[in-house]
């Protein structure tokens, strides 16, 4: 019989964005919570993903500003990148956030078991020889960097994003396998550091899930920045050379570089955790759930990257809160996955919420309306010397169902874009809101004014 002290209302396997959000919300709602984490609380996002990557990207932005200060009338010099200093800055950001998170675990009175957990019963996890049972179980085991068959990641010349975040020097050249979010973000940061970068993407364009107009805009910007990319060309082989690696793509074209970064996406961390043995419904390693994030096992839920869909920290965070409220009987509204903001923190940034134009036309037919507002007409964008656009996709005579944006710092507009999509706003409703001047948010306002039939600074 399970020891009474190891019985809880909620047991959570995994302490990343989804797991800790569920833990904190559940304790707020008066439930007793145990969380099992084999590594550090905060998971991939805090330690090996979002936070350290964005710190690198910001360091790259500072490097670009130092190089280009003259165009703003500022006399500065660029003397190079000190990777020791960059890593110290990056690590200090992570460690401050980690300390804060540890404090929140104490404040919320979450019982944490450090160690590798494994499912040994419908809602029982074994960790360090102890059994922890919950009335409810939340699976939040996250994801890992995938590779390709026949591609041996050695952590030295062939690396993943985790290795890339801990490089102690600036490589002279890198080939990046994969033109999705991770590949494009590293390409952007490394180019700012002075690295010779080439991206290989098997699909026809960079950022394949984004609206085609956004992909094309990023491709133009990357060409201008001197980032080389080959799209529609699958990788074939890699071999070690005296100076690094030699990569061959379909058609026989070869590329040589110091490093190969494998950025072909992330897979669900679900193997060897007892999931299959307990009869959990799974597909390609992902845990299948309904729209209330329930698995096929009673009182067992799954959240975040192990659930098919977007692999985003803030999606896991939203899932965690939802499931805690579901367990507490609050009957929360299901999450519309299309309404989750998607951001690629390149230079320029790419941000979107809702449907692409192509998807909207599939669903609604030829009556779909689109409007693109060029940031050339936006005062703040001119001050920042950034180009890009705000593109709206509208259902026939209906609400705005897609917002797509490209430009430096444009990610800050994703929250308003999310409200527009999720509250099913009509163009005329957004048009009557007053956007502060001078900000890039005026781009959203101008686009909706135009789509509502009363263009101010835009025609067409």
Q: Confirm or deny that 374 is annotated as ligand binding.
A: no
Q: Is the pLDDT of residue 456 over 90?
A: no
pLDDT at 458: 61
Contact yes or no for 233/268 (Cβ under 8 A): no
Average pLDDT value for residue range 354-368 = 97
Given the structure tokens 């869909």, which residue do they identify? 309
Q: Is the pLDDT of residue 5 over 60?
A: no
Q: Confirm or deny that 54 is annotated as ligand binding.
A: yes
pLDDT at 365: 97
Q: Is the pLDDT of residue 359 over 90?
A: yes
Cis amide leading into 438 (omega within 30): yes
Strand stretches in 264-384, DSSP E? 266-268, 282-283, 286-287, 300-302, 342-344, 349-354, 369-374
What percent of the chain clears pLDDT 90, i.e. is strictly above it?
94
Give 128's DSSP letter. Answer: T
Sequence-distant (≥ 6) Cβ neighbours of residue 444 within 8 angstroms: 390, 403, 413, 416, 417, 420, 430, 435
> What is the Cα–Cα distance from 254 to 311, expressed in whole angstroms?
31
Q: Is the pLDDT of residue 148 over 80?
A: yes
Average pLDDT value for residue range 408-418 = 97
What mean pLDDT, rounded, does the chain reach?
95
> What DSSP element (H or E) covers 92?
helix 83-107
Q: What is the pLDDT of residues 86-125, one digit of tens each?
A: 999 999 999 999 999 999 989 999 999 999 999 999 999 9
Closest CA to 56 of 48, 205, 460, 335: 48
Average pLDDT value for residue range 234-256 = 94
pLDDT at 459: 52
Q: Confirm or deny that 129 is annotated as ligand binding.
A: no
Q: Confirm or deny that 150 is annotated as ligand binding.
A: no
The whole-model pTM stands at 0.95
Sequence-distant (≥ 6) Cβ neighbours of residue 290 within 8 angstroms: none
Beta bridge partners of 249: 235
Q: Which residues are catalytic?
A: 437
Q: Confirm or deny that 414 is annotated as ligand binding.
A: no
Strands 389-394 and 369-374: antiparallel
Sequence-distant (≥ 6) Cβ neighbours of residue 247 within 8 angstroms: 175, 177, 200, 235, 237, 238, 254, 255, 256, 257, 260
Q: What is the pLDDT of residues 158-177, one digit of tens each?
A: 999 999 999 999 999 999 99
Contact yes or no for 192/64 (Cβ under 8 A): yes
Q: Is the pLDDT of residue 444 over 90?
A: yes
Q: Is the pLDDT of residue 389 over 70?
A: yes
Sequence-distant (≥ 6) Cβ neighbours of residue 160 within 8 angstroms: 145, 147, 153, 261, 262, 263
| Helices within 263-388 (DSSP H only) | 313-327, 357-364, 379-384
Q: Which two tokens stand for residue 299?
A: 């009182």
Q: Is the pLDDT of residue 347 over 60?
A: yes
Sequence-distant (≥ 6) Cβ neighbours of residue 135 within 8 angstroms: 8, 9, 10, 123, 299
Q: Which two tokens stand for residue 417?
A: 């874009």
Average pLDDT value for residue range 35-64 = 93
Please report which confidence band the pLDDT of residue 149 belongs to, taking 50, 70 and 90 as the band edges.
confident
Q: Confirm or deny that 210 is annotated as ligand binding.
A: no
> What DSSP element (H or E) covers 94?
helix 83-107
Please report which confidence band the pLDDT of residue 1 belongs to, taking 50, 70 and 90 as the band edges.
very low
pLDDT at 460: 45
Q: Is the pLDDT of residue 437 over 60?
A: yes
> What is the Cα–Cα distance from 159 to 88, expressed in whole angstroms?
21
Average pLDDT value for residue range 294-319 = 97
Q: Confirm or deny that 305 is annotated as ligand binding.
A: yes
């Amino acid at each position: 019989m399970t020891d009474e002290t190891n019985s809880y209302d909620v047991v959570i396997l995994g302490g990343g964005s989804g797991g800790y959000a569920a833990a904190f919300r559940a304790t707020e709602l008066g439930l007793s919570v145990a969380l099992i984490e084999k590594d550090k609380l905060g998971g991939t996002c805090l330690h090996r993903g979002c936070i350290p990557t964005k710190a690198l990207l910001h360091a790259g932005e500072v490097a670009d500003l130092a190089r280009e200060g003259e165009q703003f009338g500022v006399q500065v010099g660029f003397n190079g990148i000190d990777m020791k200093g960059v890593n110290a800055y990056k690590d200090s950001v992570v460690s401050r956030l980690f300390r804060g998170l540890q404090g929140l675990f104490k404040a919320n009175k979450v019982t944490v078991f450090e160690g590798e957990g494994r499912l040994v019963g419908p809602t029982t996890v074994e960790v360090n020889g102890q059994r922890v049972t919950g009335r409810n179980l939340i699976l939040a085991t996250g994801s890992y960097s995938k590779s390709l068959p026949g591609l041996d990641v050695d952590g030295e010349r062939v690396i993943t994003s985790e290795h890339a975040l801990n490089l102690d020097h600036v490589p002279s050249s890198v080939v990046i396998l994969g033109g999705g979010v991770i590949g494009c973000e590293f390409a952007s940061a490394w180019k700012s550091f002075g690295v010779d970068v080439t991206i290989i993407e098997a699909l026809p364009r960079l950022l394949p899930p984004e609206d085609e107009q956004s992909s094309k805009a990023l491709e133009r910007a990357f060409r201008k920045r001197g980032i080389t990319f080959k799209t529609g060309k699958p990788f074939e082989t890699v071999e070690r050379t005296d100076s690094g690696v030699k990569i061959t793509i379909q058609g026989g074209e070869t590329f040589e570089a110091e490093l190969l970064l494998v950025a072909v996406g992330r897979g669900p961390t679900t193997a060897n955790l007892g999931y299959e043995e307990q009869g959990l419904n799974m597909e390609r390693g992902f845990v299948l759930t309904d729209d209330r994030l329930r698995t096929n096992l009673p009182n067992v839920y799954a959240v975040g990257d192990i659930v098919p869909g977007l692999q985003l920290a803030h999606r896991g965070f939203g899932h965690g809160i939802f499931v805690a409220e579901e367990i507490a009987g609050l009957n929360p509204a299901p999450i519309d996955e299309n309404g989750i903001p998607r951001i690629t923190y390149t230079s320029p940034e790419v941000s979107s919420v809702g449907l692409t134009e192509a998807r909207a036309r599939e669903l609604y037919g030829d009556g779909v309306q689109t409007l693109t507002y060029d940031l050339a007409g936006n005062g703040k964008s001119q001050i920042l010397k950034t180009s890009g656009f705000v593109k709206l996709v509208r259902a026939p005579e209906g609400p705005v169902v897609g917002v797509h944006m490209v430009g430096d710092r444009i990610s800050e507009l994703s929250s308003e874009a999310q409200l527009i999509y999720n509250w099913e706003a009509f163009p005329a409703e957004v048009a009557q809101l007053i956007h502060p001047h001078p900000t890039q948010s005026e781009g959203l306002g101008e686009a909706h004014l135009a789509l509502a039939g009363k263009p101010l600074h835009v025609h067409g």
